[in-house]
Chain A
Amino acid sequence: MRQQLDTAIRLTLAAQVRNRLAWVLLVAFVPVWYLLIGSMIPHKGAGFRLRATGTTVIVDGHNLTLITAGLSAITLITGFVVFATVRRSLPFDRRLVLSGYRQSALIAAKTTAALAQALGIGAYAAAIMLIFWRPAGMWAIAAAFILGAATYAALGLLIGVLVRGDLEGFFLIIMISMLDTFLENPVDNPLANKHILEFFPSYAPTQFAAAGAFHHQVLASMAALSLAWTAAFALLGLAVLRLRLPRPARARPAAEPVPQPPATEPGTPLASPGSNRPARAKTV
């Protein structure tokens, strides 16, 4: 089990880092996105409702937009990378399970790789933001980006195991991410402070980042809410993945020959000394 888990984590990550489009998006899209948004949105005050404290604070609209723009970029990229990896590898995972790989090892490896992606992409997007803005609560923005990326990694996993075609999956991720992150920003959207937005996945990371960056507050409840979204998407996705992988065959000892009427002349024994043959039998 340990060997299978280590191998699956290492090779899942190796496959993910070879996604060239994701690298291009990460290296080029994130800074360009910050630059574009930063150049278009002026440093004007915007009323932002911190729901956890029940107060409306006036924040710099430009800086708040950098936070929502960063969230928009990382949710898109993380969702896309994990979706593409999960969808592409599903037939291969089925073959591995048929060859003896444990479902649990593959599922644990996919989860670990998705979280590693979220950590890397979230931290990178926060680091790039320092070029444009250096808030005192930078740690909160970095943590919020990682939380948001983790939620969309889990969403990418869920869409990857549910959707049949690449295009449908990409459109779903793009539409969900754009709507979700766009609606949270009061500079772009006059309805941003409505209660309904509390039920959107990026609500909690936005609140966590804004509270830390503008109000020097740690909203632990928002971190927990974001993790709950991640857990819900991940559990659903992993449950569907488990259903879509073949069920392992029941084992029976190889020493017992299969009792069948003789069809042809008996052959040589099953296993020979030094061979790679595992001593197992299966019944479907």
Chain B
Amino acid sequence: MTVLAAQGICKSFGRRRVLTGLDLDVAPGEMVAVVGENGTGKTTLLRILAGDLRPDAGTVTIGGRPGYCPQTVILDEALTVDQHVRYFQAAYGISSLARAGELIERLGFAASRGQRAGTLSGGTRQKLSLTLALMHDPPVLLLDEPYQGFDWQTYLAFWDLASELTAAGTATVVISHLVFEHKRFDRICQLADGRIQEVSSHAPAA
């Protein structure tokens, strides 16, 4: 059984063919990295998986509302951290903000809850973006270069969180141009010429 299935995904921008019949299946609790050189279509793929971009051909099926953390941090500069959390509470239709509060504590930016996004540091903006993607306990997590700007402690906190989510059955797709810690992933998919060219499997992270 898979919780995310992309089949025959094609996408072109003008004459430039970026994705040419890509297939990707991810099972619950699986941690998958999609790697590739700059311009190979990694971000395009993630945007299509998240529903932010329509493929020219192919289908994407996801078992639930995914948590999506785009490469460019997308926030409303005029709103505070807490106001962002309330906006996404309404978007996800969840009654409790306990999980959001827990994530804010664990990622270490509770002191910034009243601060406007426009005044946050780059790393804190990334933490907020990640919190917004995770606060509804998504069955599928789509992360594009998620740890850009994180300090070492936050980087470790991120992987602790990711391990917990994986253990709880969350399927995670991480887009990165470089993967430093291969052993953290169940599969590493190489994206080239518009398709997944090579898949290397590893034992799941402990």
* Chain A residues engaging chain B, CB cutoff 8 angstroms: 3-4, 7-8, 11, 14-16, 18-19, 88-89, 91-92, 94-96, 98-101, 246, 249, 254, 257-258, 260-272, 275-284
Nearest-neighbor residue (CB-CB) of A94 within chain B: B52
Q: Are A277 and B136 in contact (CB under 8 A)?
A: yes
Q: Chain B 63-75 against A: per-residue CB contact (8 Å), 1 yes, 0 no? A: 1110010101011
Q: Are A92 and B74 in contact (CB under 8 A)?
A: yes
Interface size on B, residues (CB 8 A): 57
B195 at the interface (CB under 8 A from A): no
B68's partner among A91, A95, A281 (CB-CB below 8 A) is: A95
Q: Is the CB of B171 within 8 A of A96?
A: no
Q: From residue 163 to 186 of chain B, which have CB atoms closer than 8 A to chain A? A: 167-169, 171, 186
15 contacts between A and B (CB under 8 A): A7-B90, A8-B87, A15-B76, A100-B93, A254-B63, A258-B63, A260-B61, A264-B27, A264-B186, A272-B137, A275-B137, A276-B135, A278-B64, A280-B64, A281-B63
A278 to B30, CA, bound (A): 20
* A11 pairs with B87, CB closer than 8 A: yes
Q: Which residues of A contact B54 (CB under 8 A)?
A: 284
- Assess the A284–B5 pair: CB atoms within 8 A: no
Chain B 115-144, CB-CB to A under 8 Å as 1, else 0, gives: 010000000000000001001111100000
Complexed CA–CA distance, A91 and B89 (Å): 18
Closest A residue to B68 by CB, please name it: A98
**What residues of chain B have their CB less than 8 Å away from a CB belonging to chain A?**
1-3, 5, 25-30, 48, 50-52, 54-55, 59-65, 68, 70, 72, 74-79, 83, 86-94, 96, 99, 116, 132, 135-139, 167-169, 171, 186-187
Residues of B within 8 A of A91 (CB): 72, 74
Rounded to whole angstroms, the CA-CA distance of A114 and B3 in the bound complex is 41
Inter-chain CA distance A268–B28, complex, in Å, is: 6
Q: Which residues of B contact A277 (CB under 8 A)?
A: 64, 136-139
A88–B29 contact, CB under 8 A? no
A267: contacting residue among B29, B70, B187, CB under 8 A: B29
The answer on a CB contact under 8 Å between B90 and A101 is yes
Residue of A nearest to B118 (CB): A18
Measured between C-beta atoms, what is the minimum distance from A100 to chain B in Å? 5
Using A246-B52, A267-B169 as known contacts, list a sample of 13 further A-B pairs with CB atoms less than 8 Å apart, ordered by residue number in A. Answer: A14-B79, A14-B83, A15-B76, A99-B68, A99-B132, A265-B27, A266-B27, A267-B28, A267-B29, A272-B168, A279-B64, A282-B62, A283-B59
Most buried by B among A4, A246, A263: A263
Bound Cα distance from A96 to B74, whole angstroms = 10
Question: Which B residues are CB-close (under 8 A) to A246?
Answer: 51-52
* Cβ A19 vs Cβ B78 within 8 A: yes
- Nearest residue (CB) in A for B5 is A260
Separation of A61 and B63 alpha carbons in the complex (Å)? 68
A281, B28: Cα distance in complex, Å? 14
Shortest distance from the beta carbon of B117 to any chain A beta carbon, whole Å:
9
A272 CA to B164 CA, complexed, in Å: 13
**Residues of chain A with a CB closer than 8 A to B65's CB:** 99-100, 278, 280, 282
User: How close is B96's CB to chain A, nearest CB, in angstroms?
Assistant: 7
Shortest distance from the beta carbon of B92 to any chain A beta carbon, whole Å: 5
What separation, in Å, do the CA atoms of A88 and B116 have in the docked complex? 14
Contact indicator B64/A7 (Cβ below 8 Å): no
Q: How far is the CA of A260 from the CA of B171 in the complex (A)?
A: 15
- Which residue on chain A has the smallest CB distance to residue B117? A92
Q: How far is B28's CA from A270's CA once the two chains are assembled, in angstroms?
A: 7
A270-B4 Cα distance, complex, nearest whole Å:
12
CB-CB under 8 A from A284, the residues of chain B are 48, 51, 54-55, 59-62
A190–B9 alpha-carbon span in the complex (Å): 63
Complex-state Cα separation, A89 to B74, whole angstroms? 9
Are the CB atoms of B83 and A249 closer together than 8 Å? no
Q: Tell whether, in the assembled complex, residue B78 and residue A15 are in contact, meaning their CB atoms are under 8 Å apart.
A: yes
Interface centre among B2, B61, B75, B78 (most CB of A within 10 A): B78
Q: Tell me which residues across on chain B come within 8 A of A260, comparing CB atoms.
A: 1-2, 5, 25, 61
Given the contacts A11-B79, A92-B75, A277-B138, A257 and B1 also touching, CB distance less than 8 Å:
yes
Contact A276 B99 (CB under 8 A): yes
Q: How many angstroms between the C-alpha atoms of A269 and B132 in the bound complex?
A: 23
Do the beta carbons of B93 and A270 come within 8 Å of each other? no
A272 CB contacts on chain B under 8 angstroms:
137, 168-169
Chain B residues lying within 8 Å of A257, measured Cβ to Cβ, are 1, 63
Q: Which 5 A-B pairs have the closest CB atoms?
A: A267-B29, A267-B28, A268-B169, A263-B25, A15-B78
Assess whether B93 is in contact with A278, with CB atoms less than 8 Å apart: yes
